[in-house]
Amino acid sequence: MNKVYIHEKENENKSILMNQLIQSAEQNQVKLINQPRKADAIVILGNDGDFLHGVRKTNFSSNAVYIGVSENESVGLYSSVPFSRKDDIWKNISNTAYTQKHDVLHLSIDDREDRFYACLNEFSIRSGIIKSIVIDVQIDDSHLEQFHGDGLIVSTPSGSSGYNKSIGGAVVDPKLTSLQISKIAPLTNSRYNVFHSPLVLDHSRKIRFDIIQDGNDHPIIGLDNEAFPISHIRSVELSLVPRALTHFNLPEANYIDQLKDQFLNKK
């Protein structure tokens, strides 16, 4: 029997839906547990933001399939199961036809073991003060440029339609395995010249950001939809772990249709 952990951010408005979700699981003879690390499946109730938060809180489990259940009939890229279809989950948890794999971004700060993090959507680094941040960008063993501006984003394909898209980055099909670097308000004049276009890289590439120590070395670090105040940063190293997270999706879900629903269809 599959062991299932149901995760929910604390929110009084969701308590009724949570009870209904638990009742549905029990009626389908699902074994519910309270330890995510021992779960075969982790169910997250809410929107895509709640899903990202839940994945982080359960430490990006590689042993479980993650299932995002929407609070209503409106679905997202991750919270892809409408609440009315919750009963379809339990009998198909182990059905690989209902799952897809997502890449996970790994990063370390200042080469310290206690500063190792993961992201499903994107990593961002932004100036923490009203002053451009200066970053040396290195790809593998080659120096690409010295960036001057508000910040940089490194996104996964599944996260490319989020923050990355909002600053002009390319939307990348999650069937591809890649990294993308996009720039937040780059400073361009006769003194500074930057690579303006978003840069899509093969998944095997290693990225390193060296933050120039000019008084702006306390940037704001963003991991998916959460900000982390980390004081005094010298370097960030990033790499992609392909297909590291398993996500439950209904077979009829179509990425192109999801993009249309999210960005083109009028609500």
- DSSP annotation of 94 reads T
Contacts of 19 (CB under 8 A, 6+ apart): none
Q: Return the structure tokens found at 11.
A: 């929110």
**48 assigned binding-site residue:** yes
Cα gap 99→195, rounded to integer Å: 37
**63 assigned binding-site residue:** no
Sequence-separated contacts (24+) of 195-202 with Cβ below 8 Å: 195/144, 195/145, 198/164, 198/168, 198/169, 198/170, 199/144, 200/170, 200/172, 201/139, 202/178
**162 assigned binding-site residue:** yes
- 163: three-class secondary structure by DSSP: helix
**225 assigned binding-site residue:** no
**79 assigned binding-site residue:** no
**164 assigned binding-site residue:** yes
Query: Is the Cβ–Cβ distance between 186 and 148 less than 8 Å?
Result: yes
Q: To 10 degrees, the CA torsion angle through 109, 65, 226, 14?
A: -160
**106 assigned binding-site residue:** no
- 101: three-class secondary structure by DSSP: strand
Whether 40 is catalytic: no
**87 assigned binding-site residue:** no
Q: Supply the Cα-derived Rg of the chain in whole angstroms.
A: 20
With b for 16 or more beta-carbon neighbours within 10 A and e for fewer, the 79-95 pattern comes to bbbbbeebeebbeebee
From the list 48, 50, 103, 224, the catalytic residue is 48
- DSSP annotation of 81 reads B
**140 assigned binding-site residue:** no
**150 assigned binding-site residue:** yes
> φ and ψ at 55, to 5 degrees?
-65, -40
Annotated binding site for NAD(+): 48-49, 53, 121-122, 148, 150, 161-166, 185
Annotated binding site: 48-49, 53, 121-122, 148, 150, 161-166, 185
Provide the annotated active-site residues.
48
